[in-house]
């Protein structure tokens, strides 16, 4: 029957059209249906819950040979070829201060950890505390205390080591999106669980999670560990949506039941990996997207049920001789019209 065939595609087309009007690009009907079945949403932090507009707030040197500007110039030189938001922010800050940057040679980036480069014949490691330790660099207590202070303020930090010695730290601050708290509260009201998956230090992650109301936090994760966490949630029976913006999020976006990328600020790789993109980077669209997806799934189920009911009744009536070929055709077409009209209501319905 036509009504049965039309039930799914008409609802999906109307919902995708509705989403596009609101700045949400849904690449397939399958993604929309899967979003309607999601019960857990995992967020990246930087660029997702926060604006990702990082600014250097602290430059602290632990070396008598380097003042703050010299340290900043050294780190910015090493990070000059980095695509990571932290590295880009450091380079931009150094240029604002008109510092001279040197060429970075033998540059190497390890996703989620840090970078290595030769700058002016000095071997530089810039990244997390764990990354420096993995490369045989000792972290003095003074440095650890400084890191704790920055983390308690919700700041990200990049440690710098030159020729095997930790020489300084650069602290960066980010601003939480004003709608993040309300967004998480709306998801909670809908019965959708939220979890924070981030490569940031535990204290920094807890600081932001507490502000938005997320209680499940998994911090200090490498890109492959984000994937492992999503797989674990799926093995526990959860249908997981991952929301992120960076290159590091691409594997997790691909692994999740549904991947949602922050389209305006997000990397091309993240947008390509995701099945849905928020073109305005308005995170308050997540509850809207969830409500739209839920309504679409309900509409499809209702339309299929209505189609089956109409055809079942029509068959019974034809057995009793109450339906002629002409009236049977009218009933058949009426069912199709009902299904299309019900689906069309999705296009203009309010989900905000």
Q: Which residues form the catalytic set?
A: 44
Specify the pairing of strand 258-262 against strand 276-278.
parallel
For residue 275, CA distances in Å to 6, 38, 194 come to: 23, 14, 19
Query: Which two structure tokens, joined as six digits, stand for 287?
Result: 């509850």
Give me the helix-helix angle, 68-79 and 85-96, nearest 10°.
130
Q: Which residues of 112-127 are buried (b: 16+ CB within 10 A; e: fewer)?
A: bbbbbbbbeeeebbbb
Q: What strands lie across the sheet with 276-278, from one edge to the other?
A: 24-26, 276-278, 258-262, 240-244, 40-43, 193-197, 216-218
Give the Cβ contact number of residue 350 at 10 Å.
Answer: 7
Distance of CA 253 to the CA centre of its chain: 7
């Amino acid at each position: 029957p036509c009504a049965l065939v039309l039930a799914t595609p008409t609802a999906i087309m109307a919902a995708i059209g509705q989403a596009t009007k609101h700045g949400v690009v849904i690449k397939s009907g399958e993604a929309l249906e899967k979003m309607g079945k999601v019960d857990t949403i995992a967020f990246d932090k930087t660029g997702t819950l926060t604006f990702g507009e990082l600014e250097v707030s602290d430059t602290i040197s632990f070396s008598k040979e380097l003042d703050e500007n010299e340290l900043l110039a050294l780190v910015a030189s090493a990070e000059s070829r980095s695509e990571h938001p932290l590295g880009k922010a450091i380079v931009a800050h150094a240029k604002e201060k008109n510092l001279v940057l040197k060429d970075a040679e033998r540059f190497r980036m390890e996703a989620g950890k840090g970078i290595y480069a030769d700058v002016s014949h000095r071997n530089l490691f810039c990244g997390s505390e764990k990354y420096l330790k993995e490369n045989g660099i000792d972290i003095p207590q003074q440095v650890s205390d400084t890191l704790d202070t920055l983390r308690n303020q919700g700041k990200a930090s990049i440690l710098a080591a030159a020729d095997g010695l930790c020489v300084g730290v650069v602290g960066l601050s980010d601003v939480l999106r004003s709608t993040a708290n309300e967004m998480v509260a709306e998801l909670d009201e809908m019965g959708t669980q939220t979890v924070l998956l981030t490569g940031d230090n535990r204290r920094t992650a807890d600081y932001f999670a507490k502000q938005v109301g997320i209680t499940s936090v998994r911090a200090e994760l490498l890109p492959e560990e984000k994937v492992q966490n999503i797989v674990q949630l799926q093995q526990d029976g959860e249908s997981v949506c991952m929301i992120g913006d960076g290159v590091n999020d691409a594997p997790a976006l691909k692994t999740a039941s549904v991947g949602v990328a922050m389209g305006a600020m997000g990397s091309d790789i993240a947008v390509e990996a995701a099945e849905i993109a928020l073109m305005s980077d308005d995170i308050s669209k997540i509850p809207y997207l969830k409500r739209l997806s839920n309504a679409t799934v309900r509409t499809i189920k209702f339309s299929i049920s209505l189609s089956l009911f109409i055809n079942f009744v029509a068959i019974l009536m034809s057995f009793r001789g109450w339906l002629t070929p002409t009236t049977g055709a009218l009933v058949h077409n009426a069912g199709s019209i009902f299904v299309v009209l019900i689906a069309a209501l999705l296009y203009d319905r309010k989900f905000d």
